Amino acid sequence: MTDTARNTMVEIRDLEKYYSSFKVLDGISGSVKKGEVIVICGPSGSGKSTMIRTINRLEEIDGGQIVVDGRDIHDRNYDINQLRSKIGFVFQQFNLFPHLSARDNVTLSPLKVAGMPAREASELAEHLLQKVGLSDKLDAMPASLSGGQQQRVAIARALAQNAPLMLFDEPTSALDPEMVGEVLTVIQQLAEEGQTMMIVTHEMGFAGKVADRIWFMDRGRILTQSPPGEFFNNPEHPRVQKFLSDML
């Protein structure tokens, strides 16, 4: 293995995907280094969700290749459960199990997938729920929690997989405005700890703080991949200039 390969978490090459005859991903290439935070932005309908969902095989692909941690993830011989254990996914809608407490949402994967002993899983859940600021909500049911609290449980649940890669698809866009900050603070803390992440978001202030690079998508392609300083202060591409001015 070369040094580049060893330091690479995700390598996407010429990714293509169709929804029937509509080409939703039109030749996407990009790589994510270990420890890097990539923010993905772009107009609605540009293919951000589809792209991020192909990375843990929630969507099949029609062309190209995606390598995560050295494995071709669309290889038919690669067990889907092994793949998913390497990737934590946080959705826009938190998708907690409604009949399980915060603690039990977090322990589920360690118990069932990783085969962790019950006491250890419970301690892990306490640690992770404390980390996301919910040590007083261990036994709360999802319906009794605010949206921001539920999303923080969902983040703790994803972290319990101890996955080398975390994916987020608009983690704050279903939240009331006053709850956005508490969720972004948790994600920013993960970034500071060196967690490798790919985050689809429209929160541009947050993007500027956490991103090592920003991928700008439009019509199924990545138009630019740039550090935030360049993206915000000196965007070369007219489509990026328009996107940023539309946001003001």
Cβ partners under 8 Å of residue 212, min gap 6: 36, 37, 38, 227
What are the backbone dihedrals phi and psi of residue 101, each rounded to the nearest 5 degrees, phi first? Answer: -65, 170
Tokens at 87, concatenated: 């990737």
If the CB atoms of residues 156 and 240 are measured against ligand ADP, the closer one turns out to be 240
- The answer to whether the beta carbons of residues 184 and 172 sit under 8 Å apart is yes
Closest CB to Mg ion among residues 48, 137 = 48
Using CB distances below 5 to 8 A depending on partner kind, what does residue 161 bind out of ligand ADP, Mg ion, none? none
Total site size for ligand ADP, rule CB under 6 A = 9
Q: Pick the closer one to ligand ADP by CB: 48 or 103.
A: 48
SS3 state at 218:
strand
* Nearer of residues 45 and 70 to ligand ADP, judged by Cβ: 45
2 is a site residue for ligand ADP (CB under 6 A): no
Q: Is 47 in the site for ligand ADP (CB under 6 A)?
A: yes
* End-to-end Cα separation, the chain, in angstroms: 46
In the complex, what is the shortest distance from the CB of residue 186 to ligand ADP, in angstroms, rounded to a whole number?
22
- Region from 39-47, 68-76, 202-210, 227-235 binding ligand ADP, contact rule CB under 6 A: 39-47
Is residue 48 close enough to count as binding ligand ADP by CB under 6 A? Answer: yes
Residue 19 near ligand ADP by CB under 6 A: yes
Q: What are phi and psi of 62, to 5 degrees?
A: -110, -10
19 binds, among Mg ion, ligand ADP, none (CB under 5 to 8 A by kind): ligand ADP
Among 10, 37, 50, 222, binds ligand ADP (CB under 6 A): 50
Q: Is 201 in the site for ligand ADP (CB under 6 A)?
A: no
- Which of residues 49 and 149 has its CB atom nearest to Mg ion in the complex? 49
**Residue 46 contacts ligand ADP per CB under 6 A:** yes
Largest CA distance in the chain: 55
Q: Where are the alpha helices (DSSP H) in 62-176?
A: 80-85, 102-112, 118-131, 147-159
Of the residues 8, 49, 149, 161, which one makes contact with ligand ADP according to CB under 6 A: 49
Between CA 120 and CA 140 the distance in angstroms is 20
Name the strand (E) or helix (H) holding 221.
Answer: strand 221-226
> Does residue 24 interact with ligand ADP by CB under 6 A?
yes
Instruction: Name the residue with tokens 């071709």.
Output: 72
Q: How far apart are CA 90 and CA 92, in angstroms?
A: 7
Closer to ligand ADP by CB, 47 or 88: give it: 47
115 sits in the region (left: phi over 0; alpha: psi -120 to 50; else beta) called left
Interface contacts to ligand ADP, rule CB under 6 A: 19, 24, 44-50
